[in-house]
Structure 1
Amino acid sequence: GGIAGGLYHSQSPEAYFAHTPGLKVVVPRNPYQAKGLLRASIKDDNPVIFFEPKRLYRASTGEVPEEDYSIELGTAEVVQEGSDITLLAWGAQMEIIEEAAQQASEQGISCEVIDLRSILPWDVETIAKSVIKTGRLIVSHEAPITNGFGAEIAATIQQECFLHLESPILRVCGLDTPYPLALEKEYVPDALKVLAAIKQSMDF
């Protein structure tokens, strides 16, 4: 989303493929991550679906080393340390939660920001470790909320971290409708929606 591309150019179908045993599913957030994850995907003996959010073609910049390097599949990255709440996303949605974390910090809320990077396999350990520390979790993705991959994350983390949770796990996602061209801003989860969820979680 975010490119005024309409229905067929703005879908986020990662959850479809995460339901297929044997596949690996990867989504980078910037050029550096794209190269490292793509190299690892090519070298992997398993079939890998490598998603490239179209908005990143237009909106993402960054230095990419010429030398060969790989980023291990199945490992999340803690992009920003925090103590009050964990924000989790992947792909182009990382920019959104980072903006929300900045806005929250101005209100005295410390956010831990994590890039999942690999949808399948996904890094339960890193997410659980963060949630045990913060006691709160918000998952944000562009795909519709019903049966989105955020639901799998929420179910697993509440099982792993139930006694450490200070509030319910929240999801800030796309709507359960076909992707609208004219109402794209209403559909896409943005920083203000994530910030509202942060406040809801903190005030629970």
Structure 2
Amino acid sequence: MSNATELLNFFQVKVETMEKEWEFEAPGDPVLTADMDTCSEALAQLDDVIMHTFQQCVYHLTKTLYSLLPALLDTNPFSSDEKEKEKDGTRVYRCSLMLSREACLSPPLTSQTFGYLFFFTNTSLLNTLLERDGLFSWSRAVQIRTNLDLVLDWLQGAGLGDIASEFMKKLSVTVNFLCIPKTRLIQSRVSAPSCGDSIRTSSPQIRGRGFERAHISRMKETGNDFCI
């Protein structure tokens, strides 16, 4: 894919230069026009090959990620028995980055590839998080936050921190909300007419039914009435 992309960029520039030269030297030449049409078709096919290859790469990477991501929600980073499982969250990213460097993948294509991976990570984990009531507790939230921080720290060190933070923002904000201590939730209820509105204001990325379920579960944990 990397080689094909380099070829495509090279030929696109070359063909554009040739078109300008031929328009000046032999305008309207039917033979040259036919040759240019052939070149355009070849470049279009090469572009299709690159796109198909890119889609297949992303598909197989996300398929592997799907089986490893639950470890970020389920493992206890403070347990020595599960230290090795922490590496599952970064394994696909690490291998993908290594392969992209070995193949000399261009920086824009590398960023695009990891953008898809981080988008998938955010969506998959956020959906799982909001579907499983057992995760709506302060202790579990702290574990998830720690696991997520370990992954983000590794990505930052690998030069992918900005992209990861951008695409995982909603997941990070949701986990931060679940990490709010019970006492603070109780104080928010007492001091504000609607603590739901207060949290929405401070965390505008949290929206919709996912917020409602997370908020209700945390308020149940405090033993207070719901205030949404």
Normalising by structure 1, report the TM-score. Answer: 0.27
Q: Which has the higher contact order (CA 8 A, sep 6+)?
A: 1
Structure with a larger share of its residues in strand: 1
CA radius of gyration, larger in? 2
Structure with a larger share of its residues in helix: 2
